[in-house]
Copies of this chain bind each other. A is one copy, B any other.
């Protein structure tokens, strides 16, 4: 009763015959494993997501996971390849950067369970936490740096932005606090935009 994913209906549709020339379909199984791994890691986190369960979802033997990805850590590393895909916001008026960033993050997350997976894992797994640190330092940090005048303020402002956005992801997708689940994305965007806007552009308080 602690399962995150129903046991039935695993890997419904598979590619009939992947393109390539030689070698039957090793790339297809590789992809199937990765897909199943993403779902399981997302639902259960690193520790509770077992290789056996992932293999069962992908309808292959657990040993194939080892053959293709070396170890559970290796599989997770491949599954958690994560690109925020932050768009270019250079033509957004500076007083609407907050709204643009919040709106984008929502369109990105509502259909992709990778971020909750990352949060779930990073909470208990040191290498998962390191990965989140790297993602936000490089991707969000550099994006924020382009939005502000003094680049030395970028890390601090990016940290504040992350604290609010990850807080929403945590309460809405992971903890599932009812008020945060029930609220509509539009209303949430309206509430959050001024916050992010201030973290990005307001003068440093003191």
Residues in A lying within 8 Å of B, measured CB to CB: 2, 44-45, 47-48, 119-120, 122-124, 126, 129, 132-133, 136-137, 155-156, 158-160, 162-168, 170-172, 174-180, 183, 187, 190-191, 194-195, 198-199, 204-206
Contacts and interface: CB of A to CB of B under 8 A. Distances in A.
A120 B129 contact: no
A45 to B, nearest CB: 4
A178 to B, nearest CB: 7
A14 to B, nearest CB: 29
A138 B85 CA distance: 38
A204 B187 CA distance: 9
A119 B123 contact: yes
24 contacts: A47-B47, A47-B48, A122-B174, A123-B123, A123-B170, A123-B175, A129-B174, A129-B175, A132-B177, A133-B177, A133-B178, A137-B177, A159-B177, A159-B180, A159-B183, A160-B191, A162-B171, A163-B168, A163-B172, A164-B195, A167-B171, A191-B199, A194-B198, A195-B195
